[in-house]
Amino acid sequence: MQNTIKIAHLSRAEKLRVMEAIWEDLTHEKESLESPDWHNHALRETEHRLSTGQEQIVEWHQAKSELRKKFE
């Protein structure tokens, strides 16, 4: 691929920001992306853990902040 972006020099935090920007852009595409079967299975497992008290809800801004701290 000739238009490959060189990302090796980016910090982990910069790479995560690039990934977030790409994901944000993809979510605005008009085409519908079909979710794979494994994803539906994972969602059902999470819903089960939530309903049995084995999982708790975390606000997205808090989860993102915790992930950034973990991987920086």
Please state the pTM of the whole predicted model. 0.46
Q: For residue 72, what pLDDT is reported?
A: 83
CA distance 72 to 17: 12
- The residues, ordered by sequence, that sit 6+ positions from 12 with a Cβ below 8 Å of its Cβ are 71, 72
Residues in the chain, pLDDT under 50: 1
* Residues 40, 16, 23, 62, Cα dihedral to 10°: 60
